[in-house]
Structure formats: C-alpha cells, structure tokens
Amino acid sequence: MKKIGILTSGGDAPGMNAVINGVVTAASELEIEVVGFVNGYDGLINNEVMPLPISYVKQINALGGTVLGTARSAEFMKPEVREETIARLKAEGFAGLVVIGGDGSYKGAKAIMDLGLPVVALPGTIDNDIPMTDATIGFRTALNNVMDSVDRIVTSAASHGHNFAIEVMGRHAGDIALWSGLALDADVIITDKAEFEAANVVTALEKSKASGKKYRLIIIAEGAMTAEAFKEIIEAESDFKIHPLLLGHIQRGGMASLDDRIMGKLYGEKAVHYFENGGAGCCMGIQKNQIVIQDLTEVLSAHKEMILPFGYTGAKYRLID
C-alpha cells in the first residue's frame, strides 16, 4: 500500500486540522496510508508519529490549532539533517509528504522536493503572506477573531471616549491589519512604517473626533510598528491619549471559519489526488476562487503582494476619511 506523510509547521492556523481531515479522508478511499509527523519538521527528523484514524480526523475539521502540533525547526535548516531524514523516508517507502505552513515551511518543502521526495506545500498561516494565493488557510478565521475582539473593545472605548491603538499579527504582511481595519471602520490603518507620518495620523484623529464619533480606533500591523511605539509618537505630537493594545494569540485561536474549514478539507483531498497522479512536487493556492496547483520554486521566489479586498483601491497605509 502506498504511504504518505503529513506535518504542520510554523505558527498554527485554524483550518490545518481540516487539511488533515481532507488528506486522511481522500487517502482512505484510495487505500493510501497516512502517517502524521508531530511538531513539524522536528517530528520528521526524530520520526515522532501519531496515528490519524479516520474515526478521529472526522471529528477535527472545525477545530482550530493543529492536532499534530507544530514548531519552527532550526534543525531542519541543516542540509545534512535534511538529507538524512529524506533518505530515511524514501527507504521507508514514503511516496510523498504534505507540508502545511507558511513561508519558512515552504522553504523546507522545497528542500525536500529537491532531494527527490514528492511534496505538496499548502499555505497554512494566518498571515496571508504566501505569494500568488488569494487567501491562506487561517487568514479568514484570524480576521473574524480580530473583528470579534475589537467589536467588544469598542463598546468600552465608546463609553469612555478612549482612543485604542491595536496591534494585530501578520509578521511582515499587513493583510490582517488592512482587512480587519476596513471591516472595523477604523480611523487609521497602518500597514507600512515607511509611509507613516505622525502629522497625517493626528489630522485623521482630529477629523474623527470632530465628526462626533465617540472613540478612535487605530489598527496597526505588527510588521509596521508596535502599538506602544505608536502611542509614544502620537502622544508626543498631540493631545490624544492612546490606549495601546497587543491583541496577541486570541487571533489564532478558536474554531476555524467557514472558509477555512471548506478550503482546508479541499486542499487536503487535492494533495492526495496530486500524489496519486504521480506529481513530483508542488504547492497549491487559491486563484479566482479555485484551488490551483502551482510551481513551488516560482511561488517561493515571487514577491508577495498585499491582497486587497473586493477591488479596494485605497492606500495600503490608510488614513480613513
């Protein structure tokens, strides 16, 4: 019987478990064995596995996080460790490996492919920072989490007339900040430090106050600046008092959104079919609402463009009117 492996790597993302479900479901129909490696590439190196019976994976489709566990493996960056690990997998008869993760995980996947083991890399990260895909697995759930949390914060902010600067995740990508900031009708969205000008921000805050709105909301991408740094700058330049807030891991938590559940499962099924059809290695992404098979090398070297919502043409660093 054919055998494939699966691992999740990098920051956990809601929807990763749906991929696991999709892989095991499709594989069981084709009588392919699926071996789950725990804690990302570390589990691959140390041959730490966990059983993934269909009875179990059928119950995790909605669950956030990753039941396989995850890690950012420093060990797998070493060429000699990779070579030894992949030689072992080949000797054990693995026909392929599904890797779910962000850009660091994609680099590991490419190294595996270059060593001759077929790999399917799937974009699992809340950051939406993989090039050439409209949405990564976990991005939509994270947006819902940000909206839900900030909706709660603003009822308090409105009661006191507070000004909240909320730092959201995304690593170097501003997608979470832009999308959530638009959905929350923030007064200011900061996704790029290079374009930040304190005077413009103060003008936007003054305009918001003059409109009679009871609170001010600033959404900041963590890759642009910290909420604390924003507070220092704006309080030095104006009379606005800023409540800085780091939203943190609540953004990655909870159950997966509708999109991430469906997308994850379909990605997982498609990965199995890819191996079944003899594919030598690829990644997959969403383009025009379709899951497409992509060249991993091309995606890794492509420039990541911020995905703008629904034809939005405003600035990526945005002072809301």
Is 131 one of the binding residues for ligand F6P (CB under 6 A)? no
The residue at minimum Cβ distance from ligand F6P is 11
Give me the amino acid identity at 305.
E
User: Nearer Cβ to ligand F6P, position 10 or 15?
Assistant: 10
Q: Binding string, 7-46, against ligand F6P, x = CB under 6 A?
A: ---xx-----------------------------------
Q: Would you call 183 helix, strand, or coil by DSSP?
A: helix
Question: Distance from CA of residue 25 to its chain's centroid?
Answer: 23
DSSP state of 38: S
Edge-first strand listing for the sheet containing 290-294: 49-50, 33-37, 3-8, 94-101, 119-123, 282-287, 290-294
Concerning whether 127 is annotated as a catalytic residue, the answer is yes
In 3D space, the residue among 89, 5, 91, 8 whose CA is nearest the CA of residue 51 turns out to be 5
Per CB under 6 A, contacts with ligand F6P among 204-243 are: 222
Candidates 81-89, 119-127, 269-277, 285-293: pick the segment binding ligand F6P (CB under 6 A). Answer: 119-127
Under the criterion CB under 6 A, does residue 140 sit at the interface with ligand F6P?
Answer: no
The structure tokens listed for 197 are: 């000008």
Whole-number minimum distance, CB 39 to ligand F6P, in Å?
Answer: 13
Position 252 contacts ligand F6P (CB under 6 A):
yes
Between CA 305 and CA 192 the distance in angstroms is 13
CB of 55 to ligand F6P, least distance (A): 30
Residue 18 and residue 241: Cα distance in Å, rounded?
43
Provide the phi-psi class of 151: left if phi over 0, else alpha when psi is between -120 and 50, else beta: alpha
Check if the beta carbon of residue 270 is closer than 8 Å to that of residue 137. no
For the chain, the straight-line distance linking the first and the last C-alpha, in angstroms and rounded, comes to: 61
Q: Tell me the CB-side half-sphere exposure of residue 214, using CA atoms within 13 A.
A: 9
Nearer to ligand F6P, 222 or 269 (CB): 222
Q: Which of 63, 117, 169, 256 binds ligand F6P (CB under 6 A)?
A: 169
User: Minimal distance in Å, beta carbon 95 to ligand F6P?
Assistant: 29
Q: How far apart are CA 128 and CA 138, in angstroms?
A: 8
Among 127, 167, 175, 192, binds ligand F6P (CB under 6 A): 127
Stretch that binds ligand F6P, among 167-175, 190-198, 237-245, 292-300 (CB under 6 A): 167-175
Q: Tell me how many residues contact ligand F6P (CB under 6 A).
A: 11
Instruction: Give CA separation, 102 vs 123, 142, 317, in Å.
Output: 6, 15, 24
Q: Which is nearer to ligand F6P, 216 or 252 (CB)?
A: 252
Got the DSSP string for 291-319? EEEE-HHHHHHSPPPPPPGGG--S-SSEE
**Is position 126 an interface residue for ligand F6P (rule: CB under 6 A)?**
yes
Check binding of 64 to ligand F6P (CB under 6 A). no
Q: According to the binding rule CB under 6 A, does residue 69 interact with ligand F6P?
A: no
Stretch that binds ligand F6P, among 22-30, 73-81, 166-174, 298-306 (CB under 6 A): 166-174
Of these, 171, 231, 261, 316, which contacts ligand F6P (CB under 6 A)?
A: 171
Q: How far apart are CA 177 and CA 166, in angstroms?
A: 9
What one-character-per-residue DSSP string does 66-89 give? -TT-----SGGGSHHHHHHHHHHH
Catalytic residue among 103, 127, 129, 175: 127
Q: Which range in 111-119, 164-172, 180-188, 228-236 contacts ligand F6P by CB under 6 A?
A: 164-172
Residues labelled as active-site residues: 127
List contacts with ligand F6P (CB under 6 A): 10-11, 102, 125-127, 169-171, 222, 252
